[in-house]
Amino acid sequence: MPLLSHLGASTIFLILALSLPLHQAKVEEGLGGPSQGPSSLDGANVSTLCQETSECQEGVILPVWLPQNPSVGDKVARAIVYFVAMIYMFLGMSIIADRFMASIEVITSQEKEITVKKANGETSTTTIRIWNETVSNLTLMALGSSAPEIMLSIIEIVGHGFQAGEMGPSTIVGSAAFNMFVIIAVCVHVVPDGETRRIKHLRVFFVTAAWSIFAYIWLYLILACFSPGEVEVWEGLLTFLFFPICVVQAWLADRRLLFYKYVQKKYRADKARGLIIETEGDTALPKLEVELDSTQANGMVEAGKNGDEEARRDMARTLRDLRQKHPEKDMEQLIEMANYHVLVQQQKSRAFYRIQATRMMIGAGNILKKHAADQARKALSLPEVRPEDDNSLTRVTFEPALYQCFENCGAVVLTVERRGGDVARTAVRVDFRTEDGTANAGSDYEYAEGTLLFKPGEIQREIRVGIIDDDIFEEDEYFRVHLSNVRAAWAEPGAEPPPKACLGPAATATVTIFDDDHAGIFTFEGASVRVSESVGAVRVRVLRTSGARGRVALPYCTIEGTAKAGEDYEEAEGKVEFLNDEITKFIEIKIIDDEEYEKNKNFHLELGPPELLEMGLRHGDSNENHPTEGQEGAAIAKMGCPSLGEHPKLEVVIEESYEFKSTVDKLIKKTNLALVVGSSSWREQFVSAVTVSAGDEDEDETGEERLPSCFDYIMHFLTVFWKVLFAFVPPTEYWGGWACFLVSIALIGVLTALTGDLASHFGCTVGLKDSVTAVVFVALGTSVPDTFASRAAAIQDQYADASIGNVTGSNAVNVFLGLGVAWTIAAGYWASQGQRFVVVPGTLAFSVTLFTIFALLSIAVLLYRRRATIGGELGGPRTPKILTALLFFCFWLLYILLAALEAYCHVQGF
């Protein structure tokens, strides 16, 4: 990206300039002898402040490359080796930090269920995170982000005999400067034109920003005011204790406890999402604001529920829009795209963005797209697998179970089948008998009873029941036929156990007798029918009962209800024609699928008065007994005209598609991002370590995984050693993430020690002081992953907290842990020896002062950008956005330039 390209070019130019021979100023007076404890230039035991060190010092792990004074060619070769090794170590630190941050994400994402009791006595169960977001950001998240800087400071102190060094403190201050100036400049610039990102938790930001400034002011007070040139035990210990004090105060601000409850806090309606969202620190908001107090907490719960419903509707609209935009894609692809959309919109922690940036950088792929693809495959649930039937069991059943006939048909034939068992070797017997329903044996049908025999090889038998005809108008009637007492036997008896047999699911058949003396009564099957909007078309059955004589036309039309013609269904009007002896017809109405999440709209289908078009023959009659024209009127009067029945009007209720709703429900469930970044087994880790995935950050709307690019393959082969090595780290699922946490931080310590040695040897080889090497190279190398993480957060997140809100907290934690722990250990050690722990202000105090001034200006600029003319800390109109990014970038260039010039005594320091 352009800003990082300029950054690299400017850095190289600066290093080349500083590598030239510089006129060195001398310091006339030393800093004390051994009896006064270790003396140092910011901890280094030298006699001059501005003279370049002629010999390289032993590292914590790496020895000095001998001989000490090689030729120019050898120096260039050594510098290249050190530089390449240092870059490779930075890659290794990024990858193990990725595992470290994954463990932190798993630890801080742990959830528990709580029961909430409302004022009316009702209870509801909800899931909350165990870790408070603010506490996790300032403790584990900040530790994960700043672990290399913190470990470098501690290891340098312990590894060099508890003497202060330049590399650790300068790296901490240099990293803070890079975070505050370069990372924020990048975040301001990358937000799309016209969009803004505001800090949501403004109170917490004020607290952490104040502590980050205070931390460096406190450093200056220690180095130059309280005990110049010395750090006492109480100073180191108090520096460390400021860390838990900072965390507690930020937590109090987040929870609105103590005096923070009096800080103005408002809620406003978000038009885009339909949610009640929290805003802070604003004095003039739109009229949509709703002031809430503690008594309205229950209302916020309801607002949350409404927000969930709105989120579901948003997801439904997203699926619908994706289907319209990509009609060629199947459902799995559409679900993958929608799931990716959900994951992108979901609020994420800084740890997640750090992990995502690292994995995309090293060719491990976009973890969101991978997870979206996996979830899409799971969302399309497999068809239900039912256990196989026992093939050794013979089942006897009617096929079919429903029969219809006219009363003058003479007889109705029912089919009985046997299924399963050894058909060729078994004989089966089953009893049957008829049973009255509305039809009576003797007057409407002939009573039948008996036994059916299935011989070996036979699978079907028939039961014939006689139907009695009369000339009396009757309603449709029915009777039943039951099967019972099924038994099976081998055709050839043997020593085998007898075969098993039972009745099947259709052991009873129903026979309906239609009257053939009437033109019929026309009706729907019921008063209403419910259909899914995805059905395409609904086929409504129209029944003709109590007669089926003649040709009858039946008008119908649709009537709007809450469902509107043209929007929810296609209007239908016409006639359906029943022929002679025809008893069923269907009316088809097309349903428009607009893919709403929850839908409950209705319209009506109404039948008009039936029209007798032609009097037909009775079923079974011939032309000889067809009534003449003179007789027709009397016959119609006798048999009755067609009429409407009990349900002439049908309500059609259109509901959402069950499959569509189920898919939306699965997608809308907030994904625990620990499942996305974590790992469950060593096998999974090793497979991921040797797999190349696309890491292209230029996302398209589809969210589909792309093929790896050439850059992805190059980065994979460069980092495959580290990825395979760190695959041995315990998976994040073990011990709730703590096993991975402990092993990872130990490995970070080892890599940090090696990196510090390489950086020191590189600086010594090219003629740079440790303070300059730390500010330019080490701080840059340890902060690049954070840069890409903040960039992704600025683009994807709705708020600015994850991109810049955590920068201030991380800067404060660097000082309180990195220097507080290291200086407490060293000061305690020298105090036990009866000596002082000497830390000369020099370059460190100058860097701290310079950073503090620029940091105050930066925070003032960010707060000014919250005004209505720009609208937020990040983004905004193009011109202010570019100017802000350039200003912050210039702050960083001025910082490293002035710090370097002071280190070589071209600028007067302390």
- pLDDT at residue 890 tops 90: yes
User: Rounded CA gap, 772 and 902, in Å?
Assistant: 10
Collect contacts of 320-328 with beta carbons under 8 A, ≥24 apart: 320/594, 320/595, 323/595, 325/701, 326/702
- Residue 823 structure tokens: 């200086």
**Which residue did the predictor score with more confidence, 116 or 902?**
902
What confidence tens digit (pLDDT) does each residue in 542-551 have?
988 777 777 8
What confidence tens digit (pLDDT) does each residue in 665-693 have?
655 555 556 566 778 888 888 988 888 87
Lowest mean pLDDT among 25-34, 731-740, 863-872: 25-34
Report which of 177, 148, 87, 155 is spatially closest to residue 844, judged by C-alpha positions.
177
pLDDT band of residue 346 (cuts 50, 70, 90) is: low
Buried b (16+ CB within 10 A) or exposed e, 61-79: ebeeeeeeeeeeeeeeebb
E-state strands within 750-829: none
**Who contacts 16 (Cβ-Cβ below 8 Å, separation ≥6)?**
none
What pLDDT is stored for residue 193 in this prediction?
A: 83
- Residue 681 structure tokens: 């087994």
**Which residue did the predictor score with more confidence, 727 or 306?**
727
Report which of 230, 236, 166, 53 is spatially closest to residue 840, judged by C-alpha positions.
230
pLDDT band of residue 269 (cuts 50, 70, 90) is: very low
**Which residue did the predictor score with more confidence, 611 or 371?**
611
Instruction: Pick the most confident of 275-279, 366-370, 392-396.
Output: 392-396
- Residue 882 structure tokens: 């570019």
**Which residue did the predictor score with more confidence, 162 or 117?**
162
What pLDDT is stored for residue 367 in this prediction?
A: 62
What pLDDT is stored for residue 368 in this prediction?
A: 60
Q: Are strands 508-514 and 402-406 parallel, antiparallel or unpaired?
A: parallel
With 0-12 / 13-18 / 19 or more C-beta atoms within 10 angstroms meaning exposed / middle / buried, residue 404 is: middle
Identity at 672, one-letter amino acid code:
N
What confidence tens digit (pLDDT) does each residue in 648-669 have?
899 998 876 655 666 666 555 5
- pLDDT at residue 273 tops 60: no
User: Rounded CA gap, 774 and 169, in Å?
Assistant: 9
**Which residue did the predictor score with more confidence, 878 or 389?**
878
**Which residue did the predictor score with more confidence, 707 or 590?**
590
- pLDDT at residue 467 tops 70: yes
Q: How many residues does the chain have?
A: 910
Lowest mean pLDDT among 102-116, 608-622, 658-672, 760-774: 658-672
What pLDDT is stored for residue 374 in this prediction?
A: 61
The residue assigned the tokens 């903040």 is 790
- pLDDT at residue 870 tops 60: yes
- pLDDT at residue 479 tops 80: yes
What pLDDT is stored for residue 421 in this prediction?
A: 83
With 0-12 / 13-18 / 19 or more C-beta atoms within 10 angstroms meaning exposed / middle / buried, residue 402 is: exposed
Q: What is the mean pLDDT of residues 13-36?
A: 37
What pLDDT is stored for residue 241 in this prediction?
A: 92
Q: What is the mean pLDDT of residues 858-862?
A: 91
- pLDDT at residue 220 tops 80: yes
DSSP assigned state of 123: E
Tell me the CA distances in angstroms from 542 to 476, 586, 646, one per residue in order: 15, 6, 12
Lowest mean pLDDT among 220-224, 318-322, 819-823, 892-896: 318-322
Helix (H, G, I), strand (E, B) or coil at 647: coil
Instruction: Pick the most confident of 82-91, 198-207, 564-573.
Output: 82-91
What pLDDT is stored for residue 630 in this prediction?
A: 47
What confidence tens digit (pLDDT) does each residue in 69-106 have?
888 888 899 999 999 999 999 999 888 888 888 888 88
In the predicted model, what is the mean pLDDT of the chain? 76
Identity at 668, one-letter amino acid code:
I
Q: Are strands 111-117 and 265-270 parallel, antiparallel or unpaired?
A: unpaired
**Which residue did the predictor score with more confidence, 377 or 556?**
556
Report which of 332, 203, 361, 268 is spatially closest to residue 696, judged by C-alpha positions.
361
What pLDDT is stored for residue 885 in this prediction?
A: 93
pLDDT over 70 percentage in the chain: 71
Q: How far apart, in Å, do the first and last CA atoms of the chain sit?
A: 38
pLDDT band of residue 372 (cuts 50, 70, 90) is: low
pLDDT band of residue 557 (cuts 50, 70, 90) is: very high
What pLDDT is stored for residue 476 in this prediction?
A: 74
Report which of 454, 446, 515 is spatially closest to residue 481, judged by C-alpha positions.
446
pLDDT band of residue 388 (cuts 50, 70, 90) is: very low
| C-alpha torsion sign, points 575, 579, 581, 585 | negative
- pLDDT at residue 471 tops 70: no
Instruction: Pick the most confident of 84-93, 278-287, 345-354.
Output: 84-93
- pLDDT at residue 281 tops 50: no
Lowest mean pLDDT among 332-336, 428-432, 574-578, 768-772: 332-336
- pLDDT at residue 333 tops 70: no
427: β partners: 489
Q: What is the mean pLDDT of residues 774-790?
A: 85
- pLDDT at residue 131 tops 90: no
Identity at 48, one-letter amino acid code:
T
Q: Are residues 419 and 391 in contact, defined by beta-carbon separation less than 8 angstroms?
A: no
Q: What are phi and psi of 102, to 5 degrees?
A: -65, -40
Output the pTM of the full model. Answer: 0.61
Q: What are phi and psi of 667, to 5 degrees?
A: -75, -35
What pLDDT is stored for residue 309 in this prediction?
A: 59
User: Rounded CA gap, 487 and 814, in Å?
Assistant: 85
- pLDDT at residue 302 tops 50: no
Q: How many other CB atoms sit within 10 Å of the CB of residue 220? A: 20
Lowest mean pLDDT among 321-335, 379-393, 505-519, 778-792: 379-393
Q: What is the mean pLDDT of residues 133-155?
A: 80
Report which of 545, 540, 601, 614 is spatially closest to residue 568, judged by C-alpha positions.
601
CA angle 295, 301, 307 (to 5 degrees): 135
- pLDDT at residue 318 tops 60: yes
What pLDDT is stored for residue 356 in this prediction?
A: 74
What pLDDT is stored for residue 303 in this prediction?
A: 42
What pLDDT is stored for residue 100 in this prediction?
A: 86
- pLDDT at residue 441 tops 50: yes
Helix (H, G, I), strand (E, B) or coil at 680: coil
